[in-house]
Structure 1
Amino acid sequence: MTIDTEWIVDFFRRQARLAFEEGDYTRTRNSSRELLQYQPEDVEAWSLLGEAALASNDSVVALRAFDQLLELEPGNSEYAMKLGQACIQAQDWPAALAAFNQVLEVQPGHAGALQALGLIEQLQLRLSVLGQSPDRQPRRNDPCPCGSGLKYKKCCLEKSSQTVIQQRFVEAFAQESWTQVIDLAGELKVLSKKHRRALALARYQLSQREIAYPLVSAAYVEWPRDLELRAALADLELDHDVARARQLAEAVLVEEPGQWRASLVLAAAYSRMKQPELAESTLRTLLQHNPGCDMGWQRLSYFLRSSNRLEDDLDAMREWTERCPQHADAWCYRGMSAIMNEHPQEGREYLNRALELNPNSHEALCWIGQSYKGEQDPHKALEYLVRGLQLKSDYQPGWNMLGEVYRSVGRQHESEGCFMRALAISPTQPLAWNNLANTYLDGHVLGEAEKVMQVALELNPDDPSLWCNLGNILSGGKRLREALDAYRKSQEVLHSYLPVRINLAGVESHFGNLDRAIELLREVLELPGASTNLLFIANYHPDWTGEQVYQLYREATSNYPARRYNDYPNSRIVQRRLRIGYVSPDFRAHVCAMFIEPLLSNHDKSQVEVFAYSLAKREDAVTERLMGYCDHWRHCVGLSDELIAEQIRADGIDILVDLAGHTANSRLQVFALKPAPVQASWWMGFAFGTGLKQVDYFLADEQMLPPGSESSFAEQLWRMPAPAVAYVPPERMQVVVGELPALGNGYITFGSLTRPIRLNHKVIRVWSELLQRVPGSRLMLDSSFFSDESLCTHFHGEFAKHGIAPERLQFGYTSSPTDALARMDIALDCFPHNSGTTLYESLYMGLPVVTLRDRPSMGRVGALILHGAGFDEWIADTEQEYLDKLVALASDVPALAQTRAGLRQRMLDSKLCDAADFTRRMEQTYKEMWQRYCDEGEQA
């Protein structure tokens, strides 16, 4: 995988600029350094680096930056001025004098340079720093007064500066200012043995393991008796030669039995040599004799967590607090452990204890925020995370946490900013790159997401979650074979990585491998999203009965929350204004909103008070319109099931209506709590039941729910007068119906805008027979999925099994459905899961549609639509009848042309397109539901 260099340069340039504008100089420096790796002579990057270093009193970096800028632009007086200021910070007086003199050389009379020179000369005299100054201070580019023939800046000035840098190097190492040690080492022209040892340890202390390894190895050769270097090398060898790492660690412990770092390395070596018992005992022995070894406790915690021994980890952290009760970090880690054990309240108790001992513990504050995120209380999560980051603005994990909170509530812009901050603080951290990619994936900005993921995988190619996420991005872009390769790579890297199976199942389903997809999902039902995907795919299985599908729903919802509420204060008066609550993630530009809007916009507010519980992460112009139709709008993204349920109860909802079923981001868990006395699921959002007894009714009409279909549903079936939906054609459909294509083509074009998951073996066999019975006819399949060449190739092969030549098939994607439908003569519906929105669109564009009534209720959507529009003659009950009706339509081209010309108006004149009538019927349905509740109480 190749990183897009141009993109990453632009990424870090934008980060450096933004960080500098915000005064975040750590981010500015890190981003500028990353940029300079790709463009070493980038003037803007050097300038931002220098300015940030100067502003944060990092004179070493500032000196290097402005000196480099003067090499690139020797005549720039501003860079010379900045260099002089950096020299003053470094107390390198000769270099400062030379820099300011260079300013005057370029710009005589420069007030700032003259003032600075005067101050330096006074300071030199007062402190006698340099002794007797020469009559004239040489400029940087003048010949050196020593007569070497070199420029002053390359001779005596450099020697003087080197002396200052060496003194500061020694001080920085003594103070363990590791970053400064590295920066100063970069300025030294010659590195002695001591310098090399110090630089190696500095790189190691900053966890720059790949860079540190050769440096520590070389230093150890020069200092073979140095136990600190030996312990560091032992640690680094864990990445290269575990056996040698163990030998080195044991050698350290022979000479210094209490050396904590060597004990940690030895434990890690045992762990990697598949001897976990020895690893754990080594850590526990270390802590038994050295309870104050923070790193030991932290490594023990990591070891236990990575072994999935979360309870043992909590016990170990409890022991740490008992042995070091006044240690804030001990309580902090105990709190973190409790949160990871899904005990958020207990975790907060320990973290608050850490804050009592250290009120400035940014880590404790951020983890309290993380605990509230886990409880889906984003408001409190934000409060604590912001407080923690105010204390330590470069705490990278905190920015990742904050970004995840913003992402959970649909605030993508803020989420993106947080992850970018995390990357600017630590550009080599793959988690932040992965999180940023997810933000772009949420916003369907797939090109950016892929570029970000390329960087993440370059940094950590052996992380299965990153390969899985790349697969998600490729799948979102309808590059299914590439996605399949990425998912398989994730399994290859780590076969036990389970989340990838959810996504792998999705791709398998597009290729018709539903049994394999269901098998994969059954293996990981405990993972978030697995049950929703399982139910979605099971709906399309061509060989299952409604009862089989329902049984799967019961299994998948068995772990939903138990009912919490049984008593309701709602006034049981029949004739009153009802409070209706609608719950949906699709209050936005989404196909479901096309059917929600006619209902909301036509409600009689004297009869109903409308509440919307929005789970839409990305709000848009459609959201704003829908808000205007509602009396109350509740933004519930990111909130826990319990908080949403409490809001519903506080609002006194009489009838709570689900508009999404088991689709992405729906919250049927809220319905499981039973916050409202009457709960119903309207078929429009999902076309099948919920599997929940706590949902009282599944609402559709007799076309979808014929007598005898009760055994396929957990809910009671409520059959309202047909049709149980209204279609109002959106603006994008307002195009003229053109001439019948067959008149010009000389052949019939059958077509469908369906997604490939509906193209099962039964559909392919029947459609193949149709093509054979209608000579010269073509089949056109148009949807975004068919922009994927591998998918087209697959289905060409499936039709070929039934003797259909490739030239009779037209696969592709036309972004406007009206353009695609304009090229079709007759629309085909799939089975056993019918199409939905595309059937309305086909009729509206003048195409007759033939549907096959199949299992309730997703197999009878076509019947509901056609019956509602008054076209019962196009509804079939057997495959033979389905074929006969299609052949009859195709056999009379003049009649087909006449149908096309008048179909739109006939549809518009039908009850299917009468939104006001539909809304009155829905309101009457609500009244009848409420009447039954008032008369009989809750239905058993």
Structure 2
Amino acid sequence: MTLEETEADRLEAVERERREQELRRTVQAEPRHLDALIELGMLCFETGRRHEAVGFFEQAVALAPRDAILRCNLGNALAATGRPEAALLHFREAILGDPRLALAHYQYGNALRDLGRDPEAVAAYGLAIGLDPHLAAAERQLAQLLRRLGQVHEAAAAYRRALAIEPDRPVVHFNLGNLLREQGQLEEAAASYRAALRLRPGFAGAACNLGHVCLAQGRFAEAEALYKRALAADPKLVDAARSLTQALEQQGKLGPAISAGEKLVALVENDVPAWVRLGRLYQRHGKPIQALAALRRALALAPADLPALLASMPVLGALERPEEAIAAGRRALAIDPDSGAAASGLWMLLRRACRWREAEALAAKIAGLTDAALAGGSVPDQTPGAFLLASMDGPKLRRIAQAWSTTSLSFPGKPGAAALRRRPLDHKTDRPLRIGYLVEAGSSDLPLIADLCRRHDSSRIEPILFTHGDGAAASPALPEGSVDLSVLRPEIAAQRLADEAIDILVLSDATPGNAAMTIAARKPASLQVAWPGFPGTSGADFIDYVLADAIVAPPQQAGHWSEAICRLPEAHRPILLGEQPLGETPDREREGLPPDRLILAALHPPERIEPALFRLWTELLGALPNAMLWLSAAEPLMAVELRRQAAERGIEPQRLRFAAPRAPVARGPRLALADLVLDSFPANDASLTEEALAMAVPVVALRGRNFASSSSASLLAAAGASDLVAEDLEGYRRIALDLACDPSLRETVKGRLLQAQARAPLFDLARFGRHLEQAYGRMWRHYLAGRAPEAIEILPAVEVQA
């Protein structure tokens, strides 16, 4: 306020005081002076002295009981002092005195509204507007009341009529925007908020709610700017502070998001959801200690807060405090026995601790919760990956995967988002196909795909490798022309792919709901293919094909897949034989393995170990006195539990040895220390099988009824070692015992595996690349012919006619 404005206000107050004293003298001299009583009542009302105003208006009404305007003034004063019933009587008298006075009907409606008599208030406002179509105040109040009554379309119409009369009211634009946003009319709501901001640039609420619209539309950078604008106008606007954290997180700006979250909890110290979000941000940013502190603050405020308990479970796991993580899961499930997130999270913790009895008790509950979620059309908390750890039910996996894949479609404008800009399709059949490989930067598949990109026949294939996600620093040397998408939001990454005019996009990991699927959901390429990652269907209608083979995806299982299956001959993937990773040379003594003992390696993540299989492994130890079981030490509780169970079966606990979790030698080279590798089931550990075969170590595997339980069988078949694959547990036991008891047989198998590295299809990347190129060509010809994706069988390269 300027000095001139301050002085003007002071002079106005002085004049008002002078006039009031003059009027009081008049009334003192002449108590029945009507005009003086009315003016005194108005002065008192305007300066907040409502009770005094009532007294002067009552005196005036006593002198002029039929004056409708005077009755309205008294009614207003009574309503302002919290006496709506008394006010109502005077508004009614005003209407009786002048039935055509729109103001009386309007104020009568206000009193009815204050008394909670909403339908009568609506009628009163309607009468007022009928008498005076330009009474904007009545339209505004009618709009608010209709909105409260759930008559949203009528409320919006009333707001618009009010704005047609008085277009320069920012609050009315704001209220209309709120109503439209609640109804999902985001573009119209945004227009209303922008109108409010044009009229009042510092309107914090309008900036904040326009930010909400942008956030809902996925325009995260715009939302961020608007929340900052709102906070500049009102630093204590909690809604803006909370949403700023979310907008920053959505952009992957974890550092700024954490700063915003820290400011939020400073603003609202007892806000439990704010502390939970901050804890999750810390965890995502790799700060589990700070995450735990934030979540403990949330639990101190609300010990039974389910989101805080759920968030604390993975944090405690990351801090290697599994007992506390399990305790948090049990508390969460006790609070909400129907929480799928609590049940699924606790089940995974128990699996990792190899506490199978409690995990199995939870499995039935999780199955029921999953079935209920699927029946209700919602996404179950059980992930497709977790389902595959213990089940081979292909049809159910497809249903779970389809539900999870819908999360990839939750992007702005589905269906209203702006379409990707696309180049016209080149229908020439004599040009190289543009194949895009979308690979997570830290993926173990990246070296293989990078090698294949270099091997592709440039006359047939023009490959481009796209990386996304974290882990770029650990990536191998990439082919020339590779594109890093890691800093781009999904919609921008999809547009970048579309800009490259990719004909076929190959996702190395089509796990339902993951980051790559969120990019692919925008369909940046004409055809999209899953290979070689997730061992099951993606469930997504935007993935056209999956590359597999007849072992992992036989024709009779076509109904288990949402994709058309393109079956490659010989193997669904090859093994890249590279140089031994840098590090120390494997050594039994360093690993705590006796040099003269038979080492059975089962270095699997603990969640992959099934109790029936572990029982069989201990039976093998019982039959092989010189054998030791070499396991992964991924979880602190795992060693204690497995040694306890082994002791119950008469096996000396020290015959179970656990690999150092952070060994200086990579897992693959360490496998050379083993005599035999025992695969997991029903979720095969295909990566361990690959590493063992690369070191020419025999692997005993069990073949199941789906991709996840047959992947090791496929690899062994392509290595010419199908004789190491069993069809049941008894066969698995027999193969393992035969190899364990016969050193010469083991050496023979090792020799075969070494020879396979030079001759078998599993290790022939050039041959595999030709199969891939043939598959891509068949898919593309189907597409150009206008045919829907359908099953394709690729013949071995030697059978392909020139």
Q: TM (normalized to structure 2)?
A: 0.68
* Residue pairs, 1:482-631, within 5 angstroms: 482-492=324-334, 500-501=342-343, 503-504=345-346, 506-507=348-349, 510=352, 511=356, 512-513=359-360, 514-524=363-373, 530-531=379-380, 533-542=382-391, 544-553=392-401, 569-584=424-439, 586=440, 588-603=441-456, 607-611=460-464, 615-616=468-469, 618=470, 620-622=472-474, 625-626=477-478, 629-631=480-482
Change in Cα spacing, 1:814 to 1:748, as seen in structure 2 (3 Å) is same
Q: What amino acid sits opposite 1:539 in the alignment?
A: L
The yes-or-no answer on 1:661 pairing with 2:510 is yes
- Asked if the contact 2:341–2:382 (Cα under 8 Å) also holds between the matched residues in 1, the reply is no
In the alignment, which residue of structure 1 is the partner of 2:662? 815
- Asked if the contact 1:661–1:681 (Cα under 8 Å) also holds between the matched residues in 2, the reply is yes
Q: Residues 88-140 of structure 1: CA distance to partner in whole angstroms, max 9, x if unpaired?
A: xxxxxxxxxxxxxxxxxxxxxxxxxxxxxxxxxxxxxxxxxxxxxxxxxxxxx
Change in Cα spacing, 1:736 to 1:805, as seen in structure 2 (3 Å) is closer
CA distance in 2, matches of 1:313, 1:285: 15
In the alignment, which residue of structure 1 is the partner of 2:253? 411
Change in Cα spacing, 1:893 to 1:335, as seen in structure 2 (3 Å) is farther
Q: Secondary structure at the match of 1:718?
A: strand
- Asked if the contact 2:340–2:381 (Cα under 8 Å) also holds between the matched residues in 1, the reply is no
Q: How far did 1:737 drift?
A: 5.0
Change in Cα spacing, 1:318 to 1:796, as seen in structure 2 (3 Å) is farther
* Residue pairs, 1:340-739, within 5 angstroms: 342-392=184-234, 395-492=237-334, 500-501=342-343, 503-504=345-346, 506-507=348-349, 510=352, 511=356, 512-513=359-360, 514-524=363-373, 530-531=379-380, 533-542=382-391, 544-553=392-401, 569-584=424-439, 586=440, 588-603=441-456, 607-611=460-464, 615-616=468-469, 618=470, 620-622=472-474, 625-626=477-478, 629-635=480-486, 638-640=489-491, 648-662=497-511, 665-668=514-517, 671=520, 674-682=523-531, 684-723=532-571, 724-729=573-578, 732=581, 736-738=585-587
Change in Cα spacing, 1:351 to 1:797, as seen in structure 2 (3 Å) is farther
- Asked if the contact 1:868–1:910 (Cα under 8 Å) also holds between the matched residues in 2, the reply is yes
In the alignment, which residue of structure 2 is the partner of 1:757? 607
CA distance in 2, matches of 1:528, 1:385: 34
CA distance in 1, matches of 2:322, 2:154: 46
Q: Residues 852-893 of structure 1: CA distance to partner in whole angstroms, max 9, x if unpaired?
A: 122231112112333344433423333333222211221134
CA distance in 2, matches of 1:825, 1:769: 17
Q: What amino acid sits opposite 1:442 in the alignment?
A: R
The yes-or-no answer on 1:855 pairing with 2:698 is no
CA distance in 1, matches of 2:173, 2:659: 60
- Asked if the contact 1:600–1:630 (Cα under 8 Å) also holds between the matched residues in 2, the reply is no
Change in Cα spacing, 1:532 to 1:256, as seen in structure 2 (3 Å) is closer
Q: Secondary structure at the match of 2:383?
A: helix
Q: What amino acid sits opposite 2:384 in the alignment?
A: L
- Asked if the contact 2:173–2:192 (Cα under 8 Å) also holds between the matched residues in 1, the reply is yes
Q: What amino acid sits opposite 2:310 in the alignment?
A: C
In the alignment, which residue of structure 2 is the partner of 1:780? 630
CA distance in 1, matches of 2:546, 2:119: 62
CA distance in 1, matches of 2:537, 2:679: 22
Q: How far did 1:686 drift?
A: 0.5
Q: What amino acid sits opposite 1:815 in the alignment?
A: R
- Asked if the contact 1:404–1:415 (Cα under 8 Å) also holds between the matched residues in 2, the reply is yes
- Asked if the contact 1:314–1:337 (Cα under 8 Å) also holds between the matched residues in 2, the reply is no
Q: How far did 1:576 drift?
A: 0.8
CA distance in 1, matches of 2:612, 2:446: 31
In the alignment, which residue of structure 2 is the partner of 1:887? 737
Change in Cα spacing, 1:695 to 1:498, as seen in structure 2 (3 Å) is closer
Q: How far did 1:699 drift?
A: 0.1
In the alignment, which residue of structure 2 is the partner of 1:939? 789
Identity %: 21
- Asked if the contact 2:212–2:243 (Cα under 8 Å) also holds between the matched residues in 1, the reply is yes
Q: Secondary structure at the match of 2:537?
A: coil
Change in Cα spacing, 1:524 to 1:625, as seen in structure 2 (3 Å) is farther
Where in structure 2 are there 5+ consecutive unaligned residues?
1-78, 86-112, 126-135, 791-802
* Residue pairs, 1:795-834, within 5 angstroms: 795=642, 804=651, 806-811=653-658, 813-816=660-663, 817-818=666-667, 821=671, 824-834=674-684
Which sits farther off after the overlay, 866-875 or 389-398?
Answer: 389-398
- Asked if the contact 1:832–1:859 (Cα under 8 Å) also holds between the matched residues in 2, the reply is yes
* Residue pairs, 1:155-234, within 5 angstroms: none
Q: What amino acid sits opposite 2:683 in the alignment?
A: H
Q: How far did 1:476 drift?
A: 3.7
Q: What amino acid sits opposite 1:876 in the alignment?
A: A
Change in Cα spacing, 1:457 to 1:729, as seen in structure 2 (3 Å) is farther
Q: How far did 1:447 drift?
A: 2.0
Q: Secondary structure at the match of 1:780?
A: strand
Q: How far did 1:500 drift?
A: 4.2
- Asked if the contact 1:654–1:678 (Cα under 8 Å) also holds between the matched residues in 2, the reply is yes
* Residue pairs, 1:16-95, within 5 angstroms: none
Change in Cα spacing, 1:856 to 1:387, as seen in structure 2 (3 Å) is same
In the alignment, which residue of structure 2 is the partner of 1:71? none
Q: How far did 1:556 drift?
A: 5.7
CA distance in 1, matches of 2:540, 2:617: 36
- Asked if the contact 1:328–1:355 (Cα under 8 Å) also holds between the matched residues in 2, the reply is yes
CA distance in 2, matches of 1:831, 1:597: 30
Q: How far did 1:829 drift?
A: 0.5
Q: How far did 1:317 drift?
A: 9.4
Q: Paired residue for 2:621, among 767, 771, 774?
A: 771
CA distance in 2, matches of 1:703, 1:865: 10
Q: What amino acid sits opposite 1:677 in the alignment?
A: S
Q: How far did 1:557 drift?
A: 5.4
Change in Cα spacing, 1:906 to 1:560, as seen in structure 2 (3 Å) is closer
Q: Residues 10-69 of structure 1: CA distance to partner in whole angstroms, max 9, x if unpaired?
A: xxxxxxxxxxxxxxxxxxxxxxxxxxxxxxxxxxxxxxxxxxxxxxxxxxxxxxxxxxxx
In the alignment, which residue of structure 1 is the partner of 2:7? none
